[in-house]
């Protein structure tokens, strides 16, 4: 079980979360105007495969791998035309390469056989692809402009707990709390704002509360 940050939300008395969510989003949007997905892709297929490869590694590392990968594999069929060992070697640097290669081939096979070579459009159809769970489907849908939920990664989990927006530990339950709180129009950008704030300011071990635009009146975990 990863470390919990729920208890940190007891440090400071602030307004109820429903009153804070709008100003939190607005201040983070002003602070991180450049917040967006860090993965590099040119189309739906590259988006899907980048997200699948991003598990348990950094976006920087994925981009380094996909720079070559996407020149070699341009269609779903390309992933099926090489021996699995070759694909494993091509994604080796992302970690868990055997499982990732298996998932990529499984997803590409279904895309070819069921969806005519095109990445399926609906959230539920994305979930039928091997190796695609809710987080991946959420990212793909959000980047297509049709967010069906809120992506919960380690940064979103940590900041949502520190901000007192959830007391849950499980990502699915955290998402459930967030979709009830965050306006739907902000579902796509909300996780990006938390992710970038988590990387730049709200560090897991040593959050820089003195530099945080939320610390004074919006964050119950503030140390200043």
**CA-angle at 192, arms to 191 and 194, nearest 5°:** 65
Q: Which of 44, 59, 153, 186 is catalytic?
A: 153
Q: Which of 12, 17, 100, 135 is catalytic?
A: 135
Catalytic residue flag (residue 170):
no
- Cα–Cα distances (Å) from 214 to 30, 42, 167, in that order, read 12, 35, 19
Catalytic residue flag (residue 13):
no
Active site members: 135, 153
């Amino acid at each position: 079980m990863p470390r919990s940050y729920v208890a940190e939300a007891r440090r400071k008395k602030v307004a109820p979360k429903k009153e804070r969510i709008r100003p939190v989003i607005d201040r983070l949007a002003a602070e991180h105007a450049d917040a967006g997905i860090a993965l590099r892709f040119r189309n739906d297929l590259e988006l899907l495969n980048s997200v699948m490869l991003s598990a348990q590694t950094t976006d920087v590392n994925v981009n380094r791998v996909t720079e070559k990968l996407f020149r070699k594999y341009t269609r779903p069929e390309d992933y099926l035309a090489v021996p699995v060992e070759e694909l494993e070697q091509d994604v080796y640097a992302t970690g868990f390469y055997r499982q990732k290669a298996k998932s990529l081939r499984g997803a590409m096979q279904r895309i070819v056989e069921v969806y005519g070579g095109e990445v399926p459009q609906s959230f539920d159809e994305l979930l039928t692809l091997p190796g695609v769970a809710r987080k991946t489907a959420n990212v793909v849908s959000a980047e297509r402009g049709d967010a069906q939920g809120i992506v919960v990664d380690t940064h979103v989990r940590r900041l949502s707990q520190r901000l007192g927006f959830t007391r849950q530990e499980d990502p699915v339950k955290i998402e459930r709390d967030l979709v009830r709180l965050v306006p739907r129009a902000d579902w796509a950008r909300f996780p990006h704002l938390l992710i970038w704030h988590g990387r730049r300011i709200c560090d897991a071990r040593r959050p820089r509360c003195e530099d945080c635009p939320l610390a004074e009146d919006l964050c119950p975990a503030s140390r200043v």
